[in-house]
Amino acid sequence: QQQVKQSPQSLIVQKGGISIINCAYENTAFDYFPWYQQFPGKGPALLIAIRPDVSEKKEGRFTISFNKSAKQFSLHIMDSQPGDSATYFCAASKATGNTGKLIFGQGTTLQVKP
Amino acid sequence: GAGVSQSPSNKVTEKGKDVELRCDPISGHTALYWYRQSLGQGLEFLIYFQGNSAPDKSGLPSDRFSAERTGGSVSTLTIQRTQQEDSAVYLCASSQGSTQYFGPGTRLLVL
């Protein structure tokens, strides 16, 4: 019940295209859903996050779509650029009334071709 | 200000030896987390510190793993009698609120 399942494992997109990464969770107590971006040799960095009281959040070219009834959320990267090539992790946590420890998906390696 | 720093950046050790990994969180952050990232895998929670509260050790994989946080700031993760399966990147994160800020990690290789 603590798992977060992420797909696809890898993704290749042409420059200018849309990258879509999906995650599903089981624990309905989760109330915080961040996406992290990780470049080789670096630690993960927060990209964008959402709480379950909204269905969508957009920051620049990055959008999270959240479906509470399906227990799924996804990251959309519009106008994908070669600089977006990285590994992306979704995560979930019980941010309130708990330790806030993050449960991570397995990661998606994105390659954006010029 | 400075981000989360970790040392050493790389550590090679022999099976059976003890190792200590250090984390310096962002100044003022009361919460500190340790995660482990195995090759090609997601991040696995290990332990959490919050102020003076008892730590959440629920993610530690065995009693060979321990961690402490002195003075509510610097943290040390200790792995005793290292095994080859301990080879991974050990990441530290700190937070003051929901967002966790990660350090660059310590890459541990056990030969």
Using one digit for the tens of pLDDT, what is the confidence trace for A11-65?
A: 999 999 999 999 999 999 899 999 999 999 999 999 999 999 999 999 999 999 9
Are B60 and B49 in contact by the 8 Å Cβ rule? The answer is no
Which B residues, 31 through 70, put their C-beta within 8 Å of a C-beta on chain A?
31, 33, 35, 40-45, 48, 50, 56, 59
Output the pLDDT for position B80: 98
- How far is residue B106's CA from residue B108's CA, in Å, rounded to a whole number? 6
Average pLDDT over all residues of chain B = 93
Assess contact for B34 and B106: CB atoms under 8 A. no
Among B17, B1, B37, residue whose Cα is nearest residue B110: B17
pLDDT at B22: 97
Q: B33–A34: do the CB atoms touch at under 8 Å? A: no
Would you state the pLDDT for residue B33? Answer: 96
Q: Tell me the shortest Cα–Cα distance from B14 to chain A, in angstroms.
A: 23
- In chain B, where do the E strands start and end? 5-7, 10-13, 19-24, 31-37, 43-50, 65-69, 75-79, 88-95, 100-102, 106-110
**Residue B86 dihedral angles phi and psi, to the nearest 5°:** -80, -10
User: B32-75 pLDDT, tens per residue?
Assistant: 999 999 987 789 999 999 988 889 999 999 999 999 998 879 99
Q: Is 70 exceeded by the pLDDT of residue A96? A: no
